[in-house]
Structure 1
Amino acid sequence: MNKPIRVVSVFCLVLFLALMVNATYLMYVRADGLSDDPRNRRIITATFSRERGAILVGKEAIARSVPSNDKYKFQRTYSEPFKYAPITGYFSWYSQTGVERSQNSVLAGDDSRLFVTRLVDLLSNTDPKGGNVLLTINAAAQDAAWAGLENLPGDAQGAVVALEPTTGRVLAMASTPTFDPNGFASHDFTAVSDLGKLLNADEREPLINRAIGTTLPPGSTFKLVTAAAAIESGNYDADSMVPGGYRFQLPQSDTTIGNYDDGNCGGRRITLTQALQVSCNVTFLTLANELGNDAMAEQAEKFGFNDTSLEDLAGQAQSLYPRDMDAPQTAMSGIGQSSVTATPLQMAMVAAAIANDGDVMRPYVVDEVRAPNLSVLDRTDTQSISKAISSTTADELTKMLVATVADGTAAPAQIPGVDVAGKTGTAQSSGDRPPYAWFVSFAPADDPKVAVAVLVQSSDTSPDEIGGGALGGPIAKAIMEAVITP
């Protein structure tokens, strides 16, 4: 063989080997990643041509596929789009979000748990169908959460999360402003692309699930964490006398911080329960300063700060308690300001942990995975992820929170005949915008069935009328009533 032919032969052999290596890499190494990639249009087109499984709340399909009169055979539809969009997300030709994405393999029928179903379909020459996903959502609680946000004045921004304290089940999750996922499910791909660009450019950020994706200063609701750290130190209980008064001077600074109403909280020395009832800034600034950054950060992290815990719904942002804050910043963290930020989910987890004897349960939104015939293939197991506080501390905090609803700032959450535990929060933001309003609660206090966190990021409310109790209290009350008195 002459040299030119030998060179060409070797070159072709190298190309052939490279082709084999690349094919092997794509088919065996990257196969799962390419199949799960939401940009893979071949997978989406194939999925459009089969009946995608339903997303269920109770017996109602809030997302399902119906026959269509085009080449894709099936059209994805959402029956209550705005109310559930932050949870379901959307299914489109170029991407998926929410449960549509996290449970895509089940809904598309590709999950290994559906192997028997696929085999039966193959042997019977039946068109394959996707599996169904049952959510943990309580329909009445979700209705109350959505109605509460919708009734806020003006073009409001806010979110609500309700948890079952003993399990971590998400009973309600609502966010506003929101969007209609039916627009993304359209088979008009140009219209879908235009809608995506429009919503991504919207300054109100309707595609963000504020319940898990927005972090803001939690304000006075964070006083629960500060109170927990104080009681856990062994130096305080609900009846301990603590500093009150008009103002607190930040350490290493000439700056003084007063109370929300410029009052003295009832005196220079008050009980810790009274401090929580009137939301005394001076008390909790003092406690955080005394406890120090390490103790405060450790307590916050036990409740879930500086981490994420929601595994079956993407988009959870970390709630932050920085471990490198100086003394003035640490003092300010005691009232939920400084660099402390939280999602509504995180503050609901704080309330739920207190309600659950100090145990923090992993939150989840997918209750069951079901076959097309609705037989149960898998069920989510509950999981305790930390012991935030002792049961004794939880009992002390519960007594304080009940007093705060019965005769304190959280009175708007009162339910006749039911002991409710709750705390308001009003967090200062930048000087050119109004404060954020927060509310956390759980009920019944002696046998908790639901824990709630409400965030009102903005609304057409006069700045001097913004408060967690006034705006968030009625929403939390309605959700708790929906769960405990169905």
Structure 2
Amino acid sequence: MNAALRRVSAVVIAMFLVLMAAVTSVQFFQASSLNGDPRNVRNTYRENGRDRGPIVVAGAEIAFSQPVDDPYKFLRTYTQGPLYAPVTGYSSVVFGQSGIELAENSVLNGTSPSLWQQRLGDLVTGRQPQGGAVELTIDPAVQQAAYDALGDHEGAVVALDPRTGEVLALVSTPGFDPNVLAGHDTAAVNAAWQQLLNDPGKPLANRAIAGDTYAPGSTFKLIDVAAALSADAALTPDTRISAPDSITLPGSTATIANPAGERCDDGETATLATAFAKSCNTPFVQMALDLGADAIRDQADAFGFGDQLAIPLTVTPSRLGPIADEAALGQTAIGQRDVRVTPLQMAMVSSAIANDGVLMRPYLVATTRDANLTVVSKTSPSELSTPITPEVAATMTQLMEGVVTSGTGRRAQISGVQVAGKTGTAESGFDDGTARSNPHAWFTGFAPADDPQVAVAVLVVNGADPAAGDYTGGALAAPIARSVMAAALGSGS
């Protein structure tokens, strides 16, 4: 070989090696970053061009993909979109996914390792890949009842089966229609997104489980009573406890009175049953002071406060906040100060009481299936904790029955059904530093009291002006809870 041919050969070999190095760099070292580059439209079309599997409630598809003649090939569609939006979330070609669409994305788009047999079959047969199905625990009648009962209120409802932890209803209002975010007209989707972001009602917020948390007001007295009964086996509903008309918080000049300045009983003492049914404040402030901050915090933690939960939607942890002194403890005891909770958390408290002291782990996904409807996974109920004993649970049930029978929760009564519950009315602070917000209205409870099948928590955010009357949890939240529990039981409200 002469010198010229050797030089040409060397140049060709060098170019070949450079080409191999460049291809290796692109296909191996840069693949991840290139795939993740937002300018890579192939990735967008690949992700949103899948035949995404359905989300199913009671055998009916509430979210599914239908074929369309555009580059994305399939359009995500939501039946009764606003009703189920807090659960399904959205799947958008512009904004990605939220809700179950995000939490179960790998099942729905068919890439989950659990669907390997289906993917292998698709590869062998050449079939169009399909996503799997996600079946939820939601009861459509209970979900609809909660949505209808909340109506125009800003608020949330959570309903659980206390025996299993299944989420029967999860509603947040005002809501949104995920169909407006699922379209393929990106200009229209962006406009709809901005409108939702600018809405003062924050329709994208899931008030039931995430984001904002709320002062629970007197529903927190369930924690006080659980701690007191756990610490003192001699304490009974008939035990007379301190119940003055007002109490001065230790180390301060601040005082706490009973709701509307009412007398609890004789102005000095009251039975535990009377104090609880009337939701007096001073007995529970004193109860917490006697028990101490550690006992209250430990009891709250046992019910799930502070837990990082996923149902599989991510749940914002509820919290007591700092309890720096006895004055802070007194305010904490009535669900004020820095106490902040989700409606799911308060439903969990009632659920544990209903289930003989055992708190079951809440969950939304019942089963997942492949495209051939073969069950891939099924959720088994599991215990999260045992915050109270069966004996304490029985006493608390008796106290909660009194709230509905003759106390502040009478509007939660269901004909022929014994209901247990607790109301709450929580001061919510200031909107803009000058005007005080209306109180939050709460109800949490379960039914039937002697054979619990549903536990609920209802929150009406900034429900009504106290000057207008009917602003309490008993007035606003209890009737909503009644409708939800009646639907779960198949009873008239």
User: How does the TM-score come out when normalised to structure 2?
Assistant: 0.89
3-state SS of 1:465 partner: coil
For the pair 1:438 / 2:442, whether they are aligned, the reply is yes
Paired letter, 2:483: A
Counterparts of 1:26 and 1:104, CA distance in 2: 25
Match of 2:217 in 1: 219
Please give the residue correspondences for 1:345-360 in structure 2 after superposition, counting only pairs within 5 Å.
Answer: 345-360=344-359
SS at 2:442 equivalent: strand
Contact 1:54–1:64 (CA under 8 A) maintained in structure 2: yes
Where do residues 279-318 of structure 1 align in structure 2 (5 Å cutoff)? 279-314=279-314, 316-318=315-317
The answer (yes or no) to whether the contact 1:41–1:93 under 8 Å persists in 2 is: no
1:367 corresponds to 2:366: yes
- Displacement, 1:461? 5.7
Contact 1:134–1:366, Cα closer than 8 Å, also in 2: yes
Give the drift of 1:306: 1.6
CA shift, 1:69, in A, is 2.1
Q: CA deviation at 1:50?
A: 2.7
1:467 aligned partner:
472
- Give 1:67-466 correspondences, 5 Å limit: 67-94=67-94, 95-150=96-151, 152=152, 156-213=153-210, 214-234=212-232, 236-267=235-266, 268-314=268-314, 316-430=315-429, 432-459=436-463, 463=467, 464-466=469-471
Distance 1:43 1:461, change over 3 A: farther
Bigger shift: 104-113 or 186-195?
Answer: 186-195
Q: Deviations over 1:426-451 (max 9, x none)?
A: 00122521111000010011111010
Pick closer, same or farther for the CA change 1:15–1:299 going to 2, 3 Å. farther
Per the alignment, residue 476 of structure 1 pairs with 481
Alignment partners' CA distance in 2, 1:15 and 1:311: 49
CA contact under 8 A between 1:420 and 1:442: conserved in structure 2? yes
Q: How far, CA to CA, are the matches of 1:406 and 1:339 in structure 2? A: 31
Task: Give me the whole-angstrom Cα distance separating, in 2, the residues matched to 1:51 and 1:322.
Answer: 46
8 A Cα contact 1:294 1:323, kept in partner? no
State the 1:34 CA deviation: 7.0
Q: Deviations over 1:171-218 (max 9, x none)?
A: 000011111100110001122122222222322211011001221100
Structure 2 equivalent of residue 47 of structure 1:
47
Distance 1:24 1:253, change over 3 A: same
- Tell me, in whole angstroms, the C-alpha distance in 1 between the residues paired with 2:480 and 2:35: 43
1:292 Cα deviation after fit: 1.2
- Per the alignment, in what secondary structure is the counterpart of residue 212 of structure 1? coil
Provide the C-alpha distance between the structure 1 equivalents of 2:160 and 2:43, rounded to a whole number of angstroms. Answer: 35
Could you tell me which amino acid in structure 1 is paired with residue 59 of structure 2? K
Change (3 A) 1:287 1:22: farther
What letter corresponds to residue 190 of structure 2 in structure 1? Answer: S
Q: Do the aligned partners of residues 324 and 424 (structure 1) sit closer, same or farther apart at CA in structure 2, a change above 3 Å counting?
A: closer
Tell me how many residue pairs correspond in the alignment. 468
How much does 1:13 deviate?
9.7
Paired with 1:325 and 1:243, the residues of 2 have a C-alpha distance of 24
* Matched position secondary structure for 1:114: helix
User: Residues 67 and 149 (structure 1 numbering): CA distance in 2 closer, same or farther, change over 3 Å?
Assistant: same
> What is the distance in 2 between the residues matched to 1:123 and 1:109?
16
- Any conservation in 1 of the 2:424–2:441 contact (CA below 8 Å)? yes
Distance in 1, matches of 2:283 and 2:49, equals 62
Q: How large is the Cα RMSD of the aligned pairs?
A: 2.5
Q: Which moved more, 1:265-274 or 1:330-339?
A: 265-274
Give secondary structure in 2 for the equivalent of 1:388: coil
- Report if the CA contact (8 A) 1:229-1:296 is conserved: yes
Q: Is the 2:353–2:396 contact (alpha carbons within 8 Å) kept by the matching residues of 1? A: yes
Mapped to 2, the partners of 1:241 and 1:179 lie a distance apart of: 50
* Alignment partner, residue 5 of structure 1: none
Range with bigger deviation, 387-396 or 423-432: 423-432
Q: 1:254-309: CA deviations, max 9, x gaps?
A: 11111112111112211111111000101111111111111111100111112222
Q: For residues 94-119 of structure 1, what are the alpha-carbon distances to aligned partners after superposition, in whole Å with 9 as ceiling and x for unaligned?
A: 31000000001011011112111122
SS in 1 for 2:276: helix
Tell me which amino acid in the other structure corresponds to 1:170.
Answer: V
Distance between the aligned counterparts of 2:392 and 2:438, measured in 1? 34
Task: Give secondary structure in 1 for the equivalent of 2:63.
Answer: strand
Worse-superposed segment, 193-202 or 432-441: 193-202
Q: Distance in 1 between matches of 2:304 and 2:39?
A: 33
Alpha-carbon distance in structure 2 between the residues aligned to 1:96 and 1:325: 41
1:47–1:324 Cα change, 3 Å: same
Per the alignment, do residues 14 and 258 of structure 1 end up closer, same or farther by CA in structure 2, a change over 3 Å counting?
farther
Gap regions ≥5 residues in structure 2: 1-13, 431-435
Cα separation, partners in 2 of 1:24 and 1:294, compared to 1, 3 Å: farther
**Over alpha carbons, which structure has the higher Rg?**
2
